Structure 1
Amino acid sequence: MNFFIEYNQGKTFLHSSIYKREVMNLSCRDCGQEIGEHEAHCYRCGHVVSSEYVQDPKPAQELVENDLEMEQSYVGKKHHYYRRKWDQLENRAIKTSWNWASFFLGPIWLGYRKMYRYLGFLAGIYLWLDLLLYFIDITYSIFYFPILWVLKVCITLLYGLFGNYFYLQHTKRQLTKGKRRNNNQEKMDIWSKKKGRTNWITAITSFMGFVIFYLVSQDVLIPPNAINIVSVQNGSYKSYPSATIGNGFHRFFGSPHWENQETELPYEIVRFTGVADRDGEVVSVIIDIGITGDSYIDQMIVVDGEVLDQFEREHLLGTIFAD
């Protein structure tokens, strides 16, 4: 890396390819007021600055080595890999560099690296996507799973592309916090090893927490019987095994809508409503579908307010799934 020193308003800064580090920042121990480099007392409270408090800044190279040592202590044995990746981000406008671990493992990798903030972001994004699809009425659509799968693959790709940058920001933030809390190198080293490094226990527990949070949130915010609708849409009648119910209904009827029906029967009922053309007239259609194990039956079909008998039901279904 290339380093240079900048003196500005009594502060000395060390610049590197990634970091901008403050070398010496004098402030009053009593009131916190910033003190000039050569001032002997605080002009706000009058506190006298001791000779040991006003000292020359450490040499730049020594500070660089200390920062790199702290960074290495925090990251652990993979530090050389991440330092190389972080150096590559220096001149890139878009901070991307591929990380296979963050791509394939996602929340496990985040927990392994103790990046709990980003783990929470990921859980929140997944939940937000489910809620978005639910409120725009796609949850009950035959396109729900394909759309959700594509969106989550895109998120996974983003974590693969930005995983190294996320980890860089996390490391910088944690080391800055550690410097404020620890006043000597020994304490800082202990803190870095405790707060940083990797841990398979945190990886597993974080992943379990991620899954539990996601499932509980879905159960609370999204109707628990939504899976029944998806099951019917992706299922088939025994008489027409080559076509799914959802595809057939959506192709034949207009304004399709699905909902669960409360029933005292020993099986679940899913209701489909839509409109169809009958001799040039648009009529409303209601179809109640019973879920019996892994099979589906047309419990009731109502066309324009008239309940169809068994023969009429079979004729209508034959017309729908004729192709």
Structure 2
Amino acid sequence: MEESRLQELLNVVQKNTSYYHLKWGSVNDPGKQNTWNWAAFFFSTFWLAYRKMYKLFFLFLGIELLWTIPAYFVDLPLWVMYSFYPLVAIITGLYGNRWYYLHTVKILHESQKCPDSQQESYVKTKGGAHLGIMFGLMAFSLLFYFLTDFALAHVPTTTNIKDIVRYSDDAITLEVFTEDYEWNYVEKKDRYHVVEFKGYDYTEDEDVRILFHVFFDKQIYEWRDVYLNGQKLSEEEAIDYELWIEENW
């Protein structure tokens, strides 16, 4: 692209202009050709906020919300949930310089509609980067995520009911000591829900089956019946097994 045109755009960039001079100057059309941006890769949506590309920032925030909603209603592998973040990082790293070029072109075009006396101030206001806004939007997105998570986690779906147990310390220990484990929603009784854990304890060579009572309104659970190799343990034996699990956490 022409050097004079590039310099006009760098006036909009304001910060780290040498980087964008190199990246945009290395291709014929920066608005159609991609160049890699490591800062955009590592900071993704926060980089978008830093460079004042707010529409893209909120677009990705909305997509993240849509991505996570199904996990509160159906059982999904963790890799499905967490694949969103590396995917966004790769997309932002790949397209970041191209998006930012189009962003600066738009600002420059809009500034030229202003009176000559206002064009410079318009470019300074709309262009450049802003750490304070980035940190503010980071705080907003984290607050938005936690509020959304809190609201969706209190929807009484079978997945959320099971999650009260299977995200506990007891569940982590059970899963460490067993193979082919699974969590099943059994039924609702009165004020509680029955959740079943099944797995094979390779250390003791035993099939393990445990029934939990989940009180969803209080977000707590209780151990109930414990079965080893199909045999139900006595109340005292069940308590000892529960204590053994807790001590091995």
TM-score normalised per structure 1: 0.54
| CA gap 1:115/1:161 in 2 versus in 1, 3 angstroms | same
1: distance between equivalents of 2:25 and 2:233? 72
2: distance between equivalents of 1:259 and 1:223? 19
Match of 1:83 among 10, 21, 34: 21
Q: 1:175 aligned to 2:108?
A: yes
Any gaps of 5 or more consecutive residues in structure 2?
200-208, 243-249
Counterpart residue number, 1:112:
50
| CA gap 1:126/1:81 in 2 versus in 1, 3 angstroms | same
Counterpart residue number, 2:235:
310
Percentage of matched positions with identical amino acids: 21
Q: 1:207 aligned to 2:155?
A: no
Match of 2:123 among 188, 192, 195: 192
Counterpart residue number, 1:228:
164
Point out 4+ residue stretches in structure 1 off by more than 4 angstroms: 91-94, 224-227, 246-250, 258-264, 311-317
1: distance between equivalents of 2:155 and 2:85? 21
Q: Matches of residues 138-177 of structure 1 in structure 2 within 5 Å?
A: 138=76, 143-144=77-78, 146-177=79-110
1: distance between equivalents of 2:225 and 2:212? 6
| Bigger Rg, which one | 1
Show CA shifts across 1:236-267 (max 9, x none). 47xxxxx74347778256xx435998998xxx
Assess if the C-alpha contact under 8 Å between 1:229 and 1:270 holds in 2.
no
Partner amino acid, structure 2, of 1:128: L
Shift of 1:126: 1.8
Task: Tell me: higher relative CO, structure 1 or 2? Use CA pairs within 8 A at least 6 residues apart.
Answer: 2
The structure carrying a bigger helix percent of its residues is 2
Instruction: Give the secondary-structure state (helix, strand or coil) at the position aligned to 1:251.
Output: strand
Partner amino acid, structure 2, of 1:231: Y
1: distance between equivalents of 2:13 and 2:186? 51
- Paired residue total: 220
Partner amino acid, structure 2, of 1:183: P
Assess if the C-alpha contact under 8 Å between 2:186 and 2:194 holds in 1.
yes
2: distance between equivalents of 1:69 and 1:236? 61
Q: 1:272 aligned to 2:195?
A: yes
Any gaps of 5 or more consecutive residues in structure 1?
3-63, 238-242, 277-284, 318-323
Assess if the C-alpha contact under 8 Å between 2:31 and 2:99 holds in 1.
no
Match of 1:251 among 175, 180, 192: 180
Counterpart residue number, 2:203:
none
1: distance between equivalents of 2:151 and 2:225? 32
2: distance between equivalents of 1:287 and 1:81? 60
